[in-house]
Structure 1
């Protein structure tokens, strides 16, 4: 069964393997673990992107945002045992994502450059204790990163936190190295 219109009157049985393409071009393939016809929500289980054994990613797809769905393999009618979900971890992850979006919106509203927003997001993945201080990034209330957000733009807030400063500089250097930013110059 294939469909160009993801909101058609399809039903997805548990255990089926499906491949979806979102309107943004993202392809997601996984095993159906739930489908809600009323809200057109499909829940897929697929291998973890973290690479950890015995873990899976769970994707909730609003079929209104899916351009194409193909059923690769029909699921057999059988009972499925759902894995336990840690509500504490889920709540923590939700709060982290909300805070990340709020931080990005704050930076954007202050006129921070797109590169500055990306550096902030990269640091936030490692160190959640970061916030905007005008157009500068304040990390752990100890290190300030001023525009244009290179490693040499990192300064210790009180001039004493050498360990924290070195750590943040390494993260900023890694961002620029990973993103091929030629402007990044090794701090001396």
Structure 2
């Protein structure tokens, strides 16, 4: 069974594939947006992660007819009253400019003491499939914002996010550890019961 992940991010595709494999769902083939004909993608204008994820999954399903998964994620910084939030990917003004986003956020937190640098990665994931099936779930990953980036294993704000209980950044974790702990890993695992509707679990 084919399932479309409404993303061109290779690391997100790899993450979903690893989670499905670890859950024994080897009957699902995950496609990305690069694997299907292009279709108009609506801008992410909803004020919530959940609303944006569901809109993207609905668009993908309507355009392709494939059961579709989409996510919207970002970082919510306590000292910034939960911002950048849904604006995380374009915090510096240009969508997806990770270095500029990191520099801006670190600059905004320059004078914030270490005990007030709490933050959470947030991910909402949505699944839309034939028969009117729709599901939206949410994962959160608490931690703190480092003063300097470290690590190369992630993207976005990973190099400055230190998860609770760890002495390294998200970008210094192995893919397997990140799958286990991360906001996106949490959310995608919450979708597994819905994805099981479309594939039989591997025999144990």
TM-score w.r.t. the length of structure 1 is 0.24
State which structure, 1 or 2, has the greater radius of gyration over its C-alpha atoms: 1
TM-score w.r.t. the length of structure 2 is 0.22
Structure 1 or 2: more strand by fraction: 1
Per chain length, whose mean CA-contact separation is higher, i.e. which structure has more relative contact order (CA < 8 Å, sep 6+)?
2
